[in-house]
Amino acid sequence: MEAFAYARPKTREEAVGLLGPGWADSAVLAGGTDLISLMKNYIVSPKRLVDIKRIPDLGGVKRTGESITLGATLTLQELADDKWLQSGFRGLVEAAAGVPSMQMRNMGTVAGDLCQRPRCWYYRNGFGLLARDAKGKSLVPEGDNRYHAILGNEGPAYFVNPSSLAPMLIALDARATILKPGGSRTIALVEFFRAPKSEDKREIGLEHNELLIAISFPPGGAQKTATYEVREKQALDWPLATASVALKMSGNTVTSARIVLGHVAPIPWRATAAEEFLSGKALTEENAAKAGEAAVRGAKPFSGNKYKVQLARVAVKRALLQAGRA
């Protein structure tokens, strides 16, 4: 990798002050599970790394009557081990525990999971975020697109969002708190993810001088949650399709549902048609299957990833039934 300067700020404000005027100038280092590999492959070569791991108020799980807050540097293993989250937010714990590498769970952080770059092999091999050849033509539609998007893939972004936590957090109506020079801002997490239209845009809603510091979501009450992932193998790998659900129920009747798909679109994909179908209906195997059908309605797979439509359909069905048994 290229040589770089290293900074270890003591406060979040100091960290923001160390971020440079452009993306190439600096990068935030937390767990480093994605960033270091990008640097080793010369995909990114920041001039400075800003290490935020030792900033004391950026970690942990905080609970109030109005919200649950996950600190940016909370590791996936710490999230999965949290007894209170295990009892009240099973789907979120399932999403964190589903990362099959103990090393990744102990190093990877909540903010890092949300901000990791796409796993698209064109991007990882230096063809850019939008995977174009020297003439500006996208390599995906007629290339090896086995793991690319089946929803929201009108272009020019065809990669899939790689986050393990984002679908469940969006289903929980989470919000992101972002620190910037001179203050902070909060946005709905669903708005944090974007399908960029050009190479100079990012797939996340951060500016180069901003820092994601926390994710908050409502306490949730009696809602039932679940995450179901479909993987090619149980060893370290990213899922082919996931579904995260949060249900409010009266007996066996769904009064409201939030269903979010992962690894099938450039952004975590909220399946509003499936949510509308389930509202007011009994959570039966038949209705769960129909919700899965609704979730993938409008999918436009490429030549190599048609299988993902069925996987996403089944993931929704099984996540719903899993939540109903909770």
Among the listed ranges 59-68, 197-206, 232-241, which one has the minimum average pLDDT value? 232-241
Same domain, 199 and 165: yes
Same domain, 194 and 274: no
Burial class (CB in 10 A: 0-12, 13-18, 19+), 250: exposed
Structure tokens, 203: 């797939």
Report whether 165 contacts 110 (CB < 8 A).
yes
285-295 and 307-325 helices, crossing angle to 10°: 140
With respect to residue 147, please indicate whether it lies within any of the assigned structural domains.
no
Same domain, 106 and 242: no
CATH of the domain at 31: 3.30.43.10
Range of the domain at 43: 5-53
Q: Does residue 156 have a cis peptide bond before it, meaning omega lies within 30 degrees of 0?
A: yes
Per-residue pLDDT tens for 51-68?
A: 999 999 999 999 988 899
CATH of the domain at 196: 3.30.465.10
Per-residue pLDDT tens for 37-55?
A: 999 999 999 999 999 999 9
Burial class (CB in 10 A: 0-12, 13-18, 19+), 100: middle
Same domain, 46 and 11: yes
Per-residue pLDDT tens for 286-317?
A: 999 999 999 999 999 999 999 999 999 999 99
Report whether 89 contacts 82 (CB < 8 A).
no
Q: How far apart are CA 118 and CA 163, in angstroms?
A: 9
Strand order in the sheet with 61-63: 61-63, 68-71, 211-217, 175-180, 183-188
Question: How many domains in the chain?
Answer: 3
Same domain, 212 and 257: no
Among residues 217, 251, 286, the one where a domain terminates is 217
At 294 the pLDDT is 98
